[in-house]
Amino acid sequence: MLKRLIVNADDFGLSPGVNRAVELAWRDGILTQASLMSGGGAFDEAVDIARRNPGLQIGLHLTLVQGTPVLPPEQIPGLLGADGCFPGNPVAVGMRLFFDRAIRAQLRAEIEAQILKIKETGLPLSHIDGHLNIQMHPTVFELLQELMPLHGITSFRITRERLRHNLTHDRSRVAGKAVERLIFGALSNHAQPDLQRLNIVCAAEVKGLLNSGRMTEAYLLAILEHLDPGLTEIYFHPGCLPDAEISRRMPDYRHVDELQALTSPQVRQRLQELGISLCNYRGEEKMHA
């Protein structure tokens, strides 16, 4: 079986530094698609970039934690903090979304508003993933099962990653990675049958969770050597500095190093040598830049 690779940039629309990095990684590198934050402060600029690069597939980077909503705060008060933004603690948000049934209608409305904001630009919207992988939350996923077919969304990031493969190349955060693999492995097993029933396309493995913010050239070259046959997605958080927004939100992320990995001639050469084809969730192939 052939090895096919989707290369995604998260947080598109968050800031000018992210937007610039996405365009560079698409034009000069191996990036095949990007996930757009509907509530991002640089959303309009990101839409302009997507329009002038029509081959760049666009999806929704669903944001329900650590971000700005699309709907007015008075319409979704149960989802927001006192500042009118989504709270910053993902565990607390996850618990509330699971147990507080009273906010379910607000949650559905905000998710659909984020979908519609992108669709109203005229950009084709093909996939959904999520900030901090919130798309995998059971309550959120239940709502997405209804909304994805309704809005013609045909692909979805199911967050599962081989722990042993990761630790072979990076021994940092062993305990944290084990917990993340346990949680997201269970959520993936829960979601898989419903995705198959809905004919929603997903990758067999998604890399980026366990080394989030540290997807460097060296790490990327290492994991390319043993990709499984079939479809794999690798997601990145590229950025150009200085950029106050990403430095404030993600001070430990290696945004510039991730952009360098995406535009690395060594990575492009190794993909060709290994016979790994670049594609997006629509199945469109990209030549190794």
CA-based nearest residue to 18, from 234, 219, 214, 236? 236
Q: Where are the domains of the chain?
A: 3-286
Residue matched to tokens 């198959």: 196
Banded pLDDT at 92 (limits 50, 70, 90): very high
pLDDT for res 288: 67
Mean pLDDT within 86-115: 95
Q: Is 55 helix (H, G, I), strand (E, B) or coil?
A: coil
Give tens-digit pLDDT for 233-268.
999 999 999 999 999 999 999 999 999 999 999 999
Q: Which residues contact 227 (CB under 8 A, 6 or more apart)?
A: 3, 5, 205, 274, 276
CA–CA gap between residue 286 and residue 280 (Å, rounded): 8
Q: What is the mean pLDDT of the chain?
A: 96
Is the pLDDT assigned to residue 22 strictly greater than 90?
A: yes
pLDDT for res 287: 84
pLDDT for res 289: 57
Tokens at residue 40, please?
């991002």
Q: What's domain 3-286's superfamily in CATH? A: Glycoside hydrolase/deacetylase (3.20.20.370)
Banded pLDDT at 96 (limits 50, 70, 90): very high
pTM for the model stands at 0.96
pLDDT for res 30: 98
Q: Report the Cα 211 to chain-centroid distance in Å.
A: 13
271, 244 Cβ separation under 8 angstroms: no
